[in-house]
Chain A
Amino acid sequence: MNIFRLVADLLHLASIFILLLKIQQTKSCAGVSLKTQALYFVVFVTRYLDLFTHFYSVYNSLMKLFFIASSAYIVYLMWKPYRPTYSASTDTFRAEFLIVGAALLGLAFPDSWHILDILWSFSIYLEAVAILPQLFQMTRTGEAETITSHYVFALGAYRALYLMNWIYRYYTEGYMDVIAWVAGAVQTILYADFFYIYLTRVMRGRLFSLP
């Protein structure tokens, strides 16, 4: 564990609390992509099957359980109690393409041919693009509530810190994970545009609106 990875994981945790806070405070999930949230649930379930096969640390296991449980809970909130506030008409990104694409990539370039490694690779590829329905929805509506922007920013910052974690681990441990690196780099690049708009608008206290 290093400072980049620890802060990244904590930002990932924070992003989930920000999202839950937004839904609870505004009593609405307007502007939140159910597709992105459902994709994250699929990502966590398919990646963390090693909960049953490997024990790394209490921290690692607790975080995995939290990510699975919280993503299931968010999908439930959007699907049931907050369904009337869900902006389905703007959440129109074709998420099935992302799942099929990630599945094909997972089969073409798996970490190994063990079923858990294929699912792990699939989840890595899927996580890289899972934010796209959310970014697409924000582009369609042209703006987002500030708190939703904070959520996406925390997620993007978590990914950016993972890049620094990998550079650090490469030099200190010789750690290499090409699949995670490439997918992680792609994932971070997807946030580039968003970062710029966030920093120039939200940080100056203005509404998050796209040009």
Chain B
Amino acid sequence: NTDSQGNPFLVPGATVATILMLGALHARRMYNDKKIEEARERGIELEFQPDAKAAFLRLLPLRSISRLWGTLTSVELPVWLRPHVYKGWARAFHANLEESALPLEQYASLQEFFVRTLKEGSRPIDPDPQCLVSPVDGTILRFGELKGVRPMIDQVKGFSYSVSSLLGASSFLPLIAEGNVHEESSEEEKAPTEKSKKTWWRISLASPKVQDPVSVSPMRGLFYCVIYLRPGDYHRVHSPVDWNVLTRRHFSGHLFPLNERATRTIRNLYVENERVVLEGRWQGGFMAIAAIGATNVGSIKLLIEPELRTNLPIRKLMHSEQPEERVYEPEGIGMMLKKGNEVAAFNMG
């Protein structure tokens, strides 16, 4: 009788073993994360340590994996199942369900839930006209002032990438590289020559402390801030200040993961990954935002340019008509965004 039914313990045994293995992996991951957290609290800077796993990641078809992930997460879920899936996601990734604008049953798929909006008033904008606000929810990874003619941002201790590679051949960054930048004098501003109109401003970075004797504007430096969004965070991007967006650049690139571990082991992560850069001008001078995608969050939607598509399949990438760089009309004025306006959204896959 036992033979004819096969081994009754096979399926339950395999199921239990799988659950135990997944539990062990999750526990190990949580333990690692805790170790990293404690290290950071003790001020121990994580070193850059490329390893075999990072090299292996370069061999994987990450874009196809990302697009498959997007296909899976866009599957419409039965209404009764939705709250269970989204509560499970919220528990795993510390998402705050109370703030979701809609009842959970109204998000047809995990992808829709991921790019959810929040209840009115959930994110009050700091009213101080002199302040620059966070464009996203997330964790502050690094920030500071950039100096020198080739400004570099640390990925982690022991490895950094250049701002001009991150933003692309920006209208002012080559001027830094050549070191021939200077504050536009009021005479030049009054009667802009063709060149100054083209670059619409130039800045003194080679020697930021030297204030142009003619212009009344204060001395200016170049600053940066890197903010990491966890899977459970609110994934819409807002405007950090009142500014004019003049140019949009899209770099198709790769889709490496952007988690803590990847940041410590994959070279040039932020400069290699697919990203969308908005560049323009605010009262303080130059302003740029780079939204960088990752394997699980490969798509970046721009509310100011809905037709832009990112995370395209390789074959489409080759023949894509969309411009890699777009200057917003009217040239030199571009699109006006108020502080707190919604600008873009990260989406799954």
| A and B physically associate | no
Interface positions of B (Cβ within 8 A of A): none
